[in-house]
Amino acid sequence: MAVASAKRPDKGKPEATHNIEAVRQAYYERISKLDMAPLWKVMSALVPDEPVTRCKPVIWRYNDVKSLVMESGSLISAEEAKRRVLILENPALRGESRVTNTLYAGIQMIMPGEVAPAHRHVSSAIRFVLDGEGAYTAVAGEKAFMAPGDFVITANWAPHDHGNPSDKPMLWLDVLDAPAVNFFETSFGEDFPSRMQETARRDGDSLSFYGSGVLPDLRPAETAAPMNRTPVINYTYARTRPIVERLRQEGGIDPRHGARVRYANPLSGGPVLPTMGAYLAMLPKNFRGEPYRSTDGTIFVCAEGRGATDVDGQVLEWSRNDVLVVPPWKRYAHRAAEQSVLFSISDRPAQEALGIWREGE
Ligand code: 1HN
């Protein structure tokens, strides 16, 4: 092989060999056979100057979604499907069951009289209720009856089934951390032999025991060492909405996010789940939010009102029950044509736990 002479006209650069590219290529091929690769070819992709995302800004309008989800009711039962859900796939990640790189989202429907059978898995789920009233999700033996705007948690490995004893279909948004769990290749899951769990607690107990400013002294296992997930199953809209309304009236309005509260684990003050966190924000009529960006790709649901979010120059106009996605580190700004309420969920707690979360203007 030709050896470069000791003369180095360009500091740091090996002297140009007329066939250096061919020599390098041959070298890359030789190391490749031993499963090695040159870092210098990929370093800037591995450590870019700022976050790079595959994910695109996108909106699903409830007008389109609802009728298509309703149609699935005549194609398959909740029991046969196990979960009758239309997955919301980011258009840049088709076929991957992801709405962002780390999160799964879908719209689930449960018809009157149906049961979605009991199972559990390592992935945690949250539900944000869109339509219907009086269906429940049963988590670890406790039924949480749901209404629009409710935010319901099914934590890692908690047994859960859904039922609808009401006379109306119920639709909700599911968000799971499954892509993140699968990134770590740590997913377990199992079905239960019985369709529905035995009831072990009174309906709604978790909210009254843990969401009332007191903590039950007789459940030391749960209160002594705060769990890394909330003991509350359903954060009801009936309780949370008046708080953001008061915040708005009091002028507690963040110039980027509006009058916003964070859903918290009442035992620790931390996020509801180690992998996902959520907020509820009221935007006053004619709100024009300042631009903001953060490294957590975020899913927003419009719970009330009408407005638009500018994401990196793309305007996504939303109204009630529309679901939109802001990719990581894309600058966005909300504006509201009427008083509006936005629910949002992201993987921010996971990023914060790892020390990799950042925000900016
Ligand atoms: C799941 O268990 C539910 O329990 C919904 O309602 C959606 C998507 C992927 C994996 C498990 C549910 C799901 C899911």
- Stated pTM of the model: 0.93
Q: Where are the alpha helices (DSSP H) in the chain?
A: 20-32, 43-46, 62-72, 78-81, 178-183, 205-210, 220-223, 237-249, 348-354
C-alpha of residue 83 to centroid of ligand 1, in Å: 6
Q: Determine the number of helices (DSSP H) and then strands (DSSP E) in the chain.
A: 9, 22
Residue 221 has phi, psi (to 5 degrees) of -60, -35
Position 216 scores a pLDDT of: 82
Residue 108 CB less than 6 A away from ligand 1: yes
Position 3 scores a pLDDT of: 45
List, for the chain, all residue ranges whose pLDDT scores fall below the cut of 50.
Answer: 1-6
**Do 244 and 282 form a contact (C-beta atoms < 8 A)?**
yes
DSSP-assigned letters across all residues of 269-291: SSBSSSS-EEEEEEE-TT-BPPP
**Do 169 and 92 form a contact (C-beta atoms < 8 A)?**
no
Q: In what order do the strands lie in the sheet with 160-163?
A: 142-145, 136-139, 160-163, 115-121, 189-191
Residue 88 CB less than 6 A away from ligand 1: no
- From 69, 82, 83, 191, give the residue whose CB has the most ligand 1 atoms within 8 Å, as the site to mutate: 83
Nearest atom in ligand 1 to 137's CA: 6
SS3 percent helix, strand, coil of the chain, rounded to 5, is 20, 30, 50
| Structural domains for the chain | 58-360 (2.60.120.10)
Position 224 scores a pLDDT of: 59
Position 91 scores a pLDDT of: 98
C-alpha of residue 183 to centroid of ligand 1, in Å: 17
Position 241 scores a pLDDT of: 98
Residue 178 CB less than 6 A away from ligand 1: yes
Position 10 scores a pLDDT of: 55
Nearest atom in ligand 1 to 85's CA: 7
C-alpha of residue 85 to centroid of ligand 1, in Å: 8
Residue 177 CB less than 6 A away from ligand 1: no
Q: Which residues pair with 139 in a beta bridge?
A: 142, 160
Residue 271 CB less than 6 A away from ligand 1: no
Position 2 scores a pLDDT of: 43
Looking only at the bridges linking them, the beta strands covering 277-283 and 259-262 are antiparallel
